[in-house]
Amino acid sequence: MNQQLKPNQPLVTHIYTADPSVHVFEDKLYIYPSHDLDHNGPDNDNGDQYKMEDYHILSIDDLNSTCIDHGEALHRKNVPWVSKQMWAPDAAYKNGNYYLFFPARDKDGIFRIGVAISKDPAGPFTPEPNYIPGSYSIDPAVFTDNDGKTYIYFGGLWGGQLEKWQTGTFLPDAEGPAITAPALGPRVAELSDDLLTFKNDAQEIVIVDENGIPLTAGDEDRRYFEGPWMHHYNGYYYLSYSTGSTHYLVYATSKDPKGPFTYQGRILEPVIGWTTHHSIVQFKGKWYLFYHDSSLSGGVNHKRCVKYTELKYNADGTIQTINPSEL
């Protein structure tokens, strides 16, 4: 189905979409969202309401055209290791192939990250038979640097199980750090040349304040929660992410793609719904923020819609904060 585009309006309305990862492939915008199922189950902090089981890939020729839904690109039933909950994906291109990276629970209920391959950016995608060795948690975001190295960023608190991996081993009863202790950061690993494995163990990214002191777990306005995204602008790496419980999209910068990163400020104030998840992309000379909210469903947290708006930088490289109520 096709739908005419308007800024800050749902890209599509015939299905619920969220968590958009956006890339320019073949001179078009391709959007890789999660697909919210329409159900009336309860919400909880573990994310059981997010029952997503397949992916629909969207594309846009330009921002004056329509958004095209290319249909189902991958379904849970075709991935041998998955039990449920195919959450926020991302995509990458290399060596003539398109790669879809996706988190899901394995047969033991542990979130892992899988990868599927296609010759077409819209799919369908053929999954690898098992998840990436050494992968865990949720929200993969893949970034290829100017030197050709490709990194995967990932991790989410609470339902995303990041607290349970603090020792490097899954501990089902593990809790997060004390509120005065350093916050947990996202993970980063360099991918192999074929993008199917980690070159080394994932390492934690440290996010610090303006004085170089790590943000604490109790600093919920600034600390990392989920949804990492990486882009490069004016010589700096920009790590943007969701604060989750306080509903901000924020960012930090570094000269190194592995950090540490210094907190800079907010990108997006709270939207309708519990939190948001985003991507940032340059397209035809402008920068855009793709995000989601729950406006299409009247505020139901697991019935969301993807939107976009222009992103603007100040002369010093800081990002101008966007207030959804003013759009």
Element (H, E) at 104: strand 97-105
How many domains are contained in the chain? 1
pTM to 2 decimal places: 0.97
Candidates 90, 204, 226, 293; catalytic one: 226
User: Distance between CA 2 and CA 66 in Å, rounded?
Assistant: 6
Average pLDDT over every residue of 282-302 = 95
Taking alpha carbons only, the member of 300, 278, 298, 297 closest to residue 289 is 278
| Residues with Cβ within 8 Å of residue 146, at least 6 apart in sequence | 232
Whether a cis peptide bond, with omega within 30° of 0, leads into 182 is: no
Q: Which residues pair with 253 in a beta bridge?
A: 238, 262
CA angle (259, 262, 265) in 5-degree steps: 135
pLDDT number for residue 233: 98
Statement: residue 134 has pLDDT above 90: yes
Please report the DSSP string for 275-324 in residue order.
----EEEEETTEEEEEEEESGGGTS-TTS-EEEEEEE-B-TTSPBPPB-G
25 vs 12: CA distance, rounded Å: 20
Question: With contact defined as beta carbons under 8 Å apart, do 278 and 291 qualify?
Answer: yes
To the query of whether residue 226 is one of the catalytic residues in this protein, the response is yes
Residue 35: give the domain boundaries: 2-326
Active-site annotation holds for 72: no
- The tokens for 197 are 């494995």
pLDDT of res. 1: 61
What the block records as the tokens of 190 is 């360099």
Q: What pLDDT score does 16 carry?
A: 97
CA-based diameter of the chain, in Å? 50
Say if residue 310's pLDDT is above 80: yes
List pLDDT tens digits, range 175-228: 999 999 999 999 999 999 999 999 999 999 999 999 999 999 999 999 999 999
Catalytic residue among 19, 36, 69, 90: 19
Averaged pLDDT of the chain: 96
Work out the pLDDT band at 40, boundaries 50, 70, 90: confident
Structure tokens at 6: 């308007």
> Which CATH number covers residue 286?
2.115.10.20
Q: Do the beta carbons of residue 135 and residue 104 sit within 8 Å?
A: no
What 8-state DSSP symbol labels residue 172?
T
